[in-house]
Structure 1
Amino acid sequence: MNDSAERNSIPSQRALLKAGFVLTLLGAVSGCATTTVADRSASRQAADEALSIDAGTLPFVREMDDRFQSFQIGFSHLTGGDTWKSFDAMDGKPGASVADVREPRAATDLTNRRLRNLTAALAPFYLRYSGTTANNVYFQDDDKPKLAKAPEGYKVVLTRQRWKEALEFAKAVNTQVVTSFTISEGVRDASHAWTPRMAAPWMAYTRSIGHSLYAAELYNEPNAPEYPELPKGYSEAQFASDFATFSKTMAEVAPQTKLAGPGNATLGIPGVETLLKPSPEDYANANPRPEFDIISYHFYPVLSQRCAAADSPQSIPADKAFDEEFLARPDKRLQSMKALRDSHAPGAPIWLTETGGAACGGLAWQPLFLDSFRYLDTSARLAKQGLDAIFTHALISGSNGVIDEKTFQPNASYWGAVLWRRLMGTRILDAGPVAPGLHVYAHCLRGTPGGVTLLAINMQAQAVSFDLTAPADVYALTSPDLQSNTVLLNGQLLAVQADDTLPAMKPQRMQGNQVTVAPTSINFIALPEANNPACKI
């Protein structure tokens, strides 16, 4: 999209999304009602009132995938290519075009010790290699030096060696690989139908070096292509035809790989969902009807400040990060995807294969402690409602990575992600509905039969007390400044050690059965002696 004047301008018709990120919607929606943190003061818990939770009797809700918390590494990290411009490199105003908010990046060193150590601490998970760049990859199926330029019909070159390194990284950190394939003009025939010109040799090479894919999507965001990667007017019927060819090809070259789709880009901005066409339902109902092993989709609640002013209806300012309507935006889309799954692929898992704080490269404050609340709340609320895997965009990438792509130091959400991995088991319990400003979730405690973990997200300006029925080990995450990268665990600074390993992340054993959580804090409360029958299985 950076190659011509047409593609540098904001698209005005069906091309609503660029790389999954909306620029057309600037000014398309108005009057979005929101509520500030202060507006919720009437519903806050009284300071001297303790909430009683009997963790041993919390009822079982459902079981999630052990790899529920998953991540994406964009293909540009493998090949080099465009990425989202850092906010430090911008003048504080949204870009007027895609070119204004993108900049080149070099391929990432996946052998880095710190990156591997930090990633392994989050495993096991599904690792998705995809993103917009994956739509136009030329797989160089030889061992010669990398081509200086991609052939016509492609934009970037993926060498055998680089793909091998990506697969070896995934294996070393205990992840299973998910990807998507090239769909640009380079793999299309004279009628613009998709062919396995890249996919077949790519999978043959993958097999030849002893690797495989767990799952694959045909391509990244079929309703948000970069023109001219697809012919304008590309329809759901063409998608269905292409997916039929893709399914046949994968049955031959990678029969063990599960097929996911449709993989639509969706947004939570009120008034926008109807503009994003074709919809997931349109693709699923097309003829020949696609057969998905996994129902997949993408979701972002807002646009980042790269593409919309923070105080516009399309984005969100930092002082509304705890807004209940904003935090609940993922719910509606998941419910629609559950309905689609039930009608088209009963029993299939539902994967959110790309998500984050905002489309267009992430929120300005996404690396900071302030976003840890949204990060964990989104995972917990969707797991409880029926999501099977959530792929955060990204593991490393600009302002939306849980690990900084330049320094490989943890961003603030990383520490919450580690505690989620260690403490939140696959069996989900019902801790009741969330209350404004105080969201409490419950899972079986990982690795401890009968044990329970409470995740108490306190977004209020006052402390909250819990009366529990069992001794508690508390992991309390706080920060002296919500808009900083500093994270404290039980008052102690969290930082990577000199040898690139994680610090000891030990709990505080509470005396007695009452736990008080601090204002604006995230608390994992482990109850190993809860004796919950649903957690003994």
Structure 2
Amino acid sequence: MTRKSWQLLLALLAIPAFAQQNPEPPRLEISDFHFITEVDERFQSFNIEMCEVVGGDFWVPYGLLDPEKVKKEGFAALKHSISPIDLYDQKLRTLTRGLGSAYIRISGTWANTTYFQDNDEPKMTQAPEGFETVLTRKEWKGVIDFVNEMDAKLVTSFAISEGIRDRNGHWTPDQVQALLNYTESIGGEITAAEMFNEPSHASHGGAPEGYTAADYAQDFEVFKKFIDKAAPDIKILGPGSTGEGGILPIDAYMATDQILSAKPQPEFDIFSYHFYGGVSRRCQGGLTPEGALSEEWLSKTELGLKYYEEARDKFLPDAPIWLTETAEAACGGNPWAVTYLDSFRYLEQLGRLAKEGVKVVMHNTLARSEYALLDSETLDPRPNYWSALMWNKLMGTKVYEADFSHDELDIFVHNLKGFSDGYGVLIVNPKDMESSFSLPVDAEKFLLTADSLQSKTVRLNGTVLELTSDHALPAIGGQMIAAGEIQVPAHGIMFLAIKK
């Protein structure tokens, strides 16, 4: 072979090698977006625990946990007394208003044993027999005023303990009727309600000893007949179970299939469930920050949905499905739930569940414990708050599938909120290397980054996101980018506003 032939052969061999090292980035074709479903206009919503409203025992912050006390007292040492939340606090109201229209769920295990004190006397120092805590008119009016001021809609649940029952152990509506009457008298409205919180864990949630699926069915029949007559506009949610399908280690629980197949068979307007991908370190869980960006972890929310979706399809095939309680981990969240690291789970959960047809996702909580959107002491925004703010700003109710495959990036497409035509695109890079894609149109970019994964500070297009000196939200502005190759930094979260 001549020298010239060798040179030609080497040149030909070099072409595919070079191309392999520098491939064209995948192209995000706007024309390939196709509509798949629509979510509720209040899709992104949140919980305020009944414990926060009335005051009580809630999760001890990690910085205050006493290991020796935990060894001696066990589970009880994981909680401490908290004061009722001030729902008239202007900073709290300003930040909540920034998240847009939402459902606000007042529930949690405490609601299962809470007595409504239907008078204007000072708060009882001890709950009546069969209850564990007391909700006053003043506290409930704070809830109603807050919900109305936020242009929100109220979701709640009611007591199930011995105190709400007659001498024969049957569930009675007296307490619910009193709460409904007072709510209406002060200009409030309950949009939807679960009979009680997490019947799957009734034995740990204040229900009578030995409570069964048959007991649930009998109670629910009375509850539904009462609601249908006394407050027919309230949507009944249920069952609100959690942890099944191998998601959480559960020693004893009442399976959703048992609840839904008991006679008389419960029927709900909306099928609800709860999801936590694991248990926090506080409760001896084994989750680690190293696994918080893995596909196994980020996709676990879909695994949890699959279990409850199958139950819904089997028993209530026409019911919309809502996730009425979720967060990073059960038992108050892990230490890294307060950092940028959990922003990936937070946004991927919204994006993935929207594509799967879940209509509403309620984060737990707004302002208490590590998994809260706001710091409970200062009410300062945590990284997940800024993620929620961006979702509210850009992601509409129409959900699209993008005919787009990328090994490093996860992409979610909705209509652009507030515009008759256009798209809001969320691009998540959970990898530790920069990645890119090609965009055929101009767009407005909103890039979230942090100096480290476990930072509590988030940057938007390079500028630290923080409140102004008077506790107002900063201006949220994007950066115009031209069509072409778009770089997404390692561990970057990018929103795009594409206006047609």
Q: What is the TM-score with the length of structure 2 in the denominator? A: 0.92
Alignment RMSD, CA only? 2.0
Q: Find the counterpart in structure 2 of residue 129 from structure 1.
A: 106
- Give yes or no for the alignment of 1:482 onto 2:453: yes
CA distance in 2, matches of 1:357, 1:250: 33
After the TM superposition, which of the residue ranges 400-409 and 505-514 deviates more from structure 2? Answer: 505-514
Encode CA deviations 1:82-121: one digit per residue, 9 max, x unaligned: 1101010125799563212111100011111110011011
Stretch of structure 1 that moved more, 170-179 or 427-436: 427-436
Greater mean alpha carbon deviation, residues 46-55 or residues 419-428: 46-55
Unaligned stretches of 5+ in structure 1?
A: 1-44, 309-313, 530-537
The answer for the alignment partner of 2:27 in structure 1 is 52
Cα distance in 2 for residues equivalent to 1:277 and 1:227: 9
Q: Match of 1:205?
A: 182
Contact 1:268 1:330 in 2 (8 A): no
Shift in CA distance, 436/152, structure 1 to aligned 2, threshold 3 Å: farther
Name the residue aligned to 1:305: 281
Q: For 1:19-98, list aligned pairs within 5 A.
A: 49-91=24-66, 95=70, 97-98=74-75
Quick check: 2:202–2:211 contact (8 Å CA) kept in 1? Answer: no
Distance 1:319 1:49, change over 3 A: farther
The reply on whether 1:507 has 2:478 as its aligned counterpart is yes
Return the offset for 1:406. 1.4
**2: distance between equivalents of 1:106 and 1:91?**
20
Q: Number of aligned residue pairs: give it.
A: 479
**Pick aligned residue for 2:132 from 142, 155, 166:** 155
- Give the Cα–Cα distance (whole angstroms) in 1 for the partners of residues 399 and 32 of structure 2: 13
One-letter amino acid of the structure 2 residue matched with residue 225 of structure 1: A
**Quick check: 1:93–1:306 contact (8 Å CA) kept in 2?**
no
Are the structure 2 counterparts of residues 146 and 219 from structure 1 closer, same or farther at C-alpha, using a change threshold of 3 Å? Answer: same
Q: CA deviation at 1:482?
A: 1.1
Preserved CA contact (<8 Å) 1:268 1:299 = no
2:254 is matched with: 278
Q: CA deviation at 1:174?
A: 1.4
Q: Which position in structure 2 is the counterpart of 1:294? A: 270
2:207 is aligned to: 230
Q: Which residue, 136, 139, 153 being the options, matches 1:176?
A: 153
| 2:227 paired residue number | 250
Equivalent position to 2:416, from 438, 442, 445: 445
1:108 equivalent in alignment to 2:108: no
Alpha-carbon offset, residue 272 of structure 1: 3.9
Which residue identity does 2:420 align to in structure 1? P
Aligned-pair identity (%): 38
Q: Counterpart of 1:399 in structure 2: which amino acid?
A: E
From 365, 379, 390, give the equivalent of 1:394.
365
Please, which moves more after superposition, 63-72 or 341-350?
Answer: 341-350
| Displacement after TM superposition at 1:46 (Å) | 7.1
TM-aligned CA distance change 1:434 to 1:412, over 3 Å: farther
Q: Which structure has the higher relative contact order (CA within 8 Å, separation 6+)?
A: 1
Change (3 A) 1:98 1:413: same
Q: Distance in 2 between matches of 1:408 and 1:48?
A: 47
Within 2, Cα distance between the matches of 1:181 and 1:433? 45
Q: Higher helix share goes to which structure?
A: 2
String of CA shifts for 1:238-280, please: whole Å, max 9, x gaps: 001111111111123221100000011225755847x563222
- What is the match of residue 334 of structure 1? 305
Amino acid at match of 2:35: F
Q: CA 1:167 to 1:270, structure 2 compared with 1: closer, same or farther past 3 Å?
A: closer
The Cα shift of 1:449 comes to 2.5
Q: Per-residue deviation at 1:403?
A: 1.1
Amino acid paired to 1:53? L
Q: Quick one: distance in 1 between partners of 2:50 and 2:83?
A: 11
- How far the C-alpha of 1:487 sits from its partner, in A, is 0.3
Query: Residues 243 and 290 of structure 1 are in contact (CA less than 8 Å); yes or no, is this contact kept in structure 2?
Result: yes
Structure 1 residues 66-75 or 140-149, which shifts more?
Answer: 140-149
Equivalent pair of 2:161/2:208 in contact (CA under 8 Å)? no
What is the distance in 1 between the residues matched to 2:96 and 2:164? 34
TM-score, L = length of structure 1:
0.85
Note the residue ranges of structure 2 that are not aligned, 5 or more in a row.
1-19
Greater Rg by CA: 2
Distance 1:339 1:496, change over 3 A: same
**288-297 vs 227-236, which deviates more?**
227-236
Structure-2 separation of matches of 1:93 and 1:59: 57
Offset of 1:225 from its aligned partner? 3.1
CA distance in 2 between partners of 1:325 and 1:138 (Å): 42
Maintained 8 Å contact 2:248/2:277: no
Find out whether 1:220 has 2:193 as its counterpart. no
Secondary structure at 1:237 match in 2: helix
Distance 1:322 1:237, change over 3 A: same
Is 1:418 equivalent to 2:386 in the alignment?
Answer: no
3-state SS of 2:26 partner: strand
